[in-house]
Structure 1
Amino acid sequence: MSELNAAIVQSLALVNTMTLGVAPAMAMGSQYQHLAYSLGLASMNQVFAQQQTNISQQASSVLAVLQLYRR
């Protein structure tokens, strides 16, 4: 019975040690994923803003041309 208890204690100690050893890598992986997501979202926002600017510029160009033809 004591051999079984010793094996259980050793198994738990190994799992705890493994968990502590893997924690920094998991944290860095999570941080890299969040960084990649944030950069992707920022790029999407920038593309959207650029598209909206292009639409506004086209509309103002059309209005300017219409005003020129009215004179």
Structure 2
Amino acid sequence: MSSASIQGAVVDAVTIANTKVLAEAPAMAMASLYQTISNSVAMAAANAVYAQQQANIVHQAATTLSVAKLLAQST
């Protein structure tokens, strides 16, 4: 093979690789965006569950204290 045909093959290979990378870039960006959004939604759901659990504990404590005070006053 001559050096010109080798250089042409190298140029073709680099051009194909660059085109492939450029063609995949929007899909990769959207995939990254979707993963970030899904992670944010999952964290929001986990935080909501945690907040609800903590609120239930506070409500139970308040109810217990209120019932204890009511029972203490009735005697």
TM-score by length of 2: 0.93
Distance in 2 between the 1:33 and 1:3 partners? 44
Structure 2 unaligned segments of length 5 or more: list them. Answer: none
2:42 matched residue in structure 1? 40
Q: Write out per-residue CA displacement over residues 1-50 of structure 1, whole angstroms, 9 at most, x where no aligned residue.
A: 11111000000000011111000000000000000000000001100100
Structure 1 unaligned segments of length 5 or more: list them. Answer: none
Q: What do you get for the CA RMSD once the two structures are aligned?
A: 0.5
1:7 matched residue in structure 2? 9
Equivalenced residues, count: 71
TM-score by length of 1: 0.98
Higher-Rg member (1/2):
2
Tell me whether 1:58 sits opposite 2:60 in the alignment.
Answer: yes
Runs ≥4 in structure 1, deviation > 2 angstroms?
none
Cα distance, 1:69 vs structure 2: 1.1
Q: How high is the sequence identity, in percent, across the aligned residues?
A: 41
